[in-house]
Amino acid sequence: MPTVKFTYALKRFFPALKDVPAEGNSFPEIFRELDFHYPGLSKYVLDEQGSLRKHVNIFIDGKMINDRNKLTDPLSVNSEIYIMQALSGG
Amino acid sequence: MKRTLLLGTRKGFIAYQFKNGNWKSENISFEGIPVSIAYVDPRTNTWWAALDHGHWGVKLHRSNDRGNTWEEVTAPSYPEGAEVKDGVPATTRYIWAMAHGGKKFPYRIWVGTDPGGLFVSEDNGNNFQLVISLWDHPTRKEGWFGGGRDQPGIHSIVVDPRNEERIHIGISCAGVFETTDSGKTWHIRNKGMWADFLPNPDAETGFDPHILIAANSNPDIMWQQNHCSIFRSSDAALSWEDVGQKGGTARFGFAIAVAEDDPDQAWVAPANSDMTRTAIKGALCICRTDDGGKTWKDQRKGLPQENCFDIVYRHALALSGDALAFGTTTGNLFFSPDRGENWQVLNNYLPMVYSVQFAD
């Protein structure tokens, strides 16, 4: 099953957040599972229309996803998914 | 005077408390996170913080213990498929106004957002629903546009305390809208306003009321600091009169306040024209009228009068009894105990101030 890793910045809002093996073959399934473990987490990463927030990125096996709107990039069982924020602000 | 000041700032939620004759910092929450609105519901003394995370979206938190602990509630969100314009998905980009529903509706809370949606909760903020009647208003997609922000935004929600089903809202840029049935139907209330930035001066919408308020002592008297001038209504927004100071200081700005005991006494925080949005001639000034906007006088005592760039955002001027307070874009916080006659500095080193409100 894919493993999901998170930027340290999300731990401010989800202090117990750890890298998790996530059951599921698609992002909707994975985010449903993440919300089960960390209620509300998906709303930090995705907007209410299901698109990736503007200043957030998702990498699959080191490669940035292409479809930020519907998150249809393919996953494999051993994929490492990394959720990070843009290094911006001030 | 209420003895707490709540500040929404670019770097967090800040509360001041008045004790032994001095204002002292009481609470700092959400350090580093922009707080678009710091709001207190006076019915329950619940503090609300509307967060504008740069990365993680708009969030809404409430506290029942003066900010010692906070609970995140589900922020208002647009239904699946909602669109700002055809092909542009609607998502909550900013919370720009909060208002309680009044005594008759003790669990009702209104929230105004960018991109133009009004939300209502009937359970003290546990759940919010988009007010579809306004979202579906025939003028919205073509007649509303961004002002101050990229998309249209609802920054003012005025609930009539005599009839809490009657609400006026202010939208930049669309104008003033009124409902008398708790949001089932809406009426445009832009008569008498003007907007020199519009290609069609007779447009039905597209006006830019920066902030809209009503007088506590007579809610039929309404005031707005508009992009183009200051307007006053004596018939609950059925018509508006330009009361800006022709060629004077009190004209362009964002904030306005009206005395609790006198509907004709009001304050504005003038700024240079929309071309520069800076303090006029490098000096900070509050203007007060005592006669419903016929005349205005400058109130400068205690305010910086040189090398000053501060302006005051639309939610950042507050009033309670004889007291006034305002925060500025360069992080200064000022207080007056005597209706603006004298000003004192509470802090020169705050982040940019988005909102100021008095609380118990």
Residue A90 lies in a domain: no
Q: What are the structure tokens assigned to B29, written together?
A: 């929450």
The percentage of residues in chain A with a pLDDT greater than 70, rounded to a whole number, is 97
The pLDDT, as a whole number, for residue A62 is 94
CATH number of the domain to which A33 belongs: 3.10.20.30
* Residues of chain B contacting A89 with CB distance shorter than 8 Å: 54-55
Residue A11 lies in a domain: yes
The percentage of residues in chain B with a pLDDT greater than 70, rounded to a whole number, is 100
Q: Give the residue from B10, B31, B33, B56 with the most A CB atoms within 10 Å of its CB, the best one to mutate.
A: B56
Residue A75 lies in a domain: yes
The rounded distance, in Å, linking the Cα atoms of B50 and B8 is 8
The pLDDT, as a whole number, for residue A35 is 95
pLDDT at A89 over 70: no
* Residues of chain A contacting B82 with CB distance shorter than 8 Å: 49
Residue A72 lies in a domain: yes
The domain total for chain A is 1
Which of the listed CATH numbers 3.10.20.30, 3.90.950.10, 1.10.10.10, 2.130.10.10 matches domain B85-347? 2.130.10.10
The pLDDT, as a whole number, for residue A23 is 82
Enclosing H/E stretch for B6? strand B4-9
Answer whether A44 sits within 8 Å of B56, measured CB to CB: yes
pLDDT at B59 over 70: yes
Task: For residue range B175-210, list pLDDT tens digits in order.
Answer: 999 999 999 999 999 999 999 999 887 899 999 999
Answer whether A83 touches B (CB < 8 Å): no
CB neighbours (10 Å) of residue B235?
12
A-B CB pairs within 8 A amount to 45
**Range of lowest pLDDT (B152-161, B166-175, B269-278):** B269-278
Q: For the residues of B295-327, what is the DSSP string, one character each? A: --EEE-TTS--SS------TB-EEEETTEEEEE
Among chain B residues, CA nearest to A56: B55
Q: What are the structure tokens assigned to B273, written together?
A: 């024209």
> What distance lies between CA B256 and its chain's CA centroid?
9
Q: Return the top range by mean pLDDT from A23-27, A76-80, B246-250, B284-288.
A: B284-288
B215 within 8 A of B223, measured Cβ to Cβ: yes
Q: For residue B178, what are the CA distances in angstroms to B93, B136, B207, B235, B254? A: 24, 15, 15, 12, 21
B267 within 8 A of B275, measured Cβ to Cβ: no
Burial class (CB in 10 A: 0-12, 13-18, 19+), B21: exposed
For B54, the closest of A45, A48, A88 (CB atoms) is A88
For B55, the closest of A40, A50, A53 (CB atoms) is A53
Question: What is the residue range of A54's domain?
Answer: 3-85
Mean per-residue pLDDT for B9-31?
Answer: 97
Tell me the pLDDT of chain B averaged across its residues: 97
The pTM is what? Answer: 0.96
Residue A77 lies in a domain: yes
3-state secondary structure of B140: helix
pLDDT at B54 over 90: no
The pLDDT, as a whole number, for residue A90 is 66
Residue A28 lies in a domain: yes
**Range of lowest pLDDT (A25-29, B43-47, B114-118):** A25-29
What 3 state SS string does A46-78 have? ECCCCCECCCEEEEECCEECCCCCCCCCCCCCC
Burial class (CB in 10 A: 0-12, 13-18, 19+), B202: exposed
- Report domain extents, chain B: 85-347
